Amino acid sequence: MSHTIVAITACAAGIAHTYMAARALEALEQEHGLKVKVETQGSIGAENILSEQDIAAADVVIIASDVEIELARFAGKRIYKTRPKVAIKDAKALVDVALKEAVVFGAKGTEVGNITLGKTNENGFIQHIMSGISYMVPMVISAGLLLAIANIFAFQKDELGRMVAWGFDQSDPLGDLMYHLFLVGKVGFTLMIPLFAGFVANSIASRPAIAPAMIGAYIANDAGFLGTETGGGFLSAILVAFIVGYFVRYLKMIRWPKLLQPLVPIMILPLIATFFITIVVKYMIGGPIASGMGAMYDWLTWLTTNYSASTFIIGAIIGAMIGFDFGGPVNKTALIFGTAVFTDTVAKYGIEGANFVPGTAAQAAISVAPLGIFVASQLFKNKFSPTEKIAANSAFGMGIVGVTEGAIPFAAAHPVQMITASVAGSALAGGLVGFFDVKFYGGIGSPLGTFVGYIEQPIPFVTWILCTFAGITLTALIIGLWRKPIGVETPSPSSKTDTQPASADSLTTQVANRSASAETKPIFHPQHVLFDSESTTKEQAFAFIAKQAMALGYVSDAKAYESGLNAREQSSSTGFTGGIAIPHCKNTAATHAGLFVVRFSHPIEWETMDEQPVRTAVALSIPASGNEESVHMLTKLSRKMMHQPFRDTLSQADSLEVEEAIATAIA
């Protein structure tokens, strides 16, 4: 089966390994029938740039790079990261591994340091909790909206239009209907905690655990059954769900007699588990949890009632957690806490006394990161590449419907920048809705939520938009001011139409004419074929190369350039195959671009791709900043290095033949 491969190659200096890796991958198209396109990101900028169509059609994206590569445009594609030397050594093996082991970039679960973006660990605590919440949310929304709608008709006015009482006029048909809708809403809030517990237990141990967990959670929240002033709330439901879930999982491990096996999942397991959890709730966890939860929510209500600043602080903390890992475990923890506070205070105080702060803050913050990215891409257009702008549009589509995960590709590519911006903006949005006493009953957690759903706010429709957009704007400004403008790429020099090789005699003149340096120097001269009879180690070879380059006028400081060669070697070996190495580095000590062929009398141990010692070094001096034309010619030479006859010439031929081969390569 033919596969379509796209790749980016880049090495530290942007010269040798960049183009050798590209050539090795491109050769697969002819040798193995693969469709291959490689974008090189070298010293002269990006060449053969991958289009949106190229990326969309690819089965896998290979990043063979020693430097950081912008990956936002590859959101949703399978990516495999490696080093350029791996591609040079065996490109086919690399592709085979990439097709098997590449992972989707920007998907939930993307790791940034110790943070996992957008996804919790498989079979983990949060996963089970979120499974229960996913089943509970529709009931929360429908019951909350019914209560909110009915509540509008419960405020009774006097003849002057002043609110004088709360209650339903059941003598009026509309008032009677609203009264019963209010009761239905309360039934929904009564059932949602048992429903939650049932499906958490189902996530752990499947269907036999649902009934006992629902019953256990119901009695754990029944103050009359417990003999307490209030129920155990959301925490008791979590404990019940996990106790039942793992108890049933244990019971399922028992080898039941064949005669009983048909009855095990539908009768025996639910019966035993229900009896067990009843004893646990009644005599062990019910009373203490109910007392503890009652005290905590009394304190929380007292705090938010008596200290107006506390609502801002609580909302900001919840918002910051929502914005921290883009749907990951910290985000989910904040969402669970907000849901728990809302459901528990509804059960304890009724809808009119519910604590909305944490839950509303979570919803206000949930879309800040993706929408902040989109706004930044519009305000700071010169700081986003074309592919990033497309990814930002996708982030808008997800953010406007309240999906934080739309920010993951940008967070994976720029973790510190994105997490800082997201936490700041999300905290601001969460704090503002808490401060202004906004109440989110249900709907979409984005500015659009003010129209889709029901949100009680001081200024209808407007307050929610202002609070959420304040957070979005702060996030956008941090992202935009943090970023640097996208550099204008210098176009590659046009290739010669005359492909005939240049003569050795004309090489110096040709290079001199192209050079922009004040003191023109050819990239190569017959004097650049050097013989080293003393070096026996890489370090000694580097010292010899740097000393000779300085003597020939290509390097201003031999020690500085020697240090640069050593540093480059530590980041990634420059050893090639067939006894050749290509030591090089981009360094301020290099005053001119040059190539030096060094032949060693003693074989030198080097980390090469075929594990053979080095007999010839093709060394490059690369100015840290300077003439693009010279760098382009070094690039051509690097590509030519992929061909064995060219390498043989450098290693074995006399100086004039070497000069002619190099002239042909850069013509």
Residues identified as active-site: 11
Give Cα separations from 663 to 202, 515, 634, 658, 659 (angstroms). Answer: 73, 15, 11, 9, 6
Of 54, 84, 47, 92, residue with least CA distance to 636: 47
Both tokens of residue 658?
């070497």
Both tokens of residue 449?
């939520």
Q: What is the DSSP letter of 571?
A: H
Give Cα separations from 314 to 141, 433, 469, 595 (angstroms). Answer: 23, 10, 19, 64
Q: Between 386-399 and 368-379, two packed helices, what is the crossing angle to 10 degrees?
A: 140
- What residues contact residue 596 under an 8 Å CB cut-off, 6+ apart? 528, 530, 545, 548, 549, 552, 617, 618, 619, 620, 621
Both tokens of residue 263?
């009855």
In degrees rounded to 5, what are phi and psi of residue 154? -90, -15
Both tokens of residue 307?
């200290």
Q: How many other C-beta atoms can be found within 10 angstroms of the C-beta atom of residue 422?
A: 32
CA 284 from centroid of its chain's CA atoms: 44
Both tokens of residue 180?
């019963």
Q: How many other C-beta atoms can be found within 10 angstroms of the C-beta atom of residue 161?
A: 7
Please give the Cα distance from 664 to 647 (Å, whole number). 13
Q: How many other C-beta atoms can be found within 10 angstroms of the C-beta atom of residue 222?
A: 17
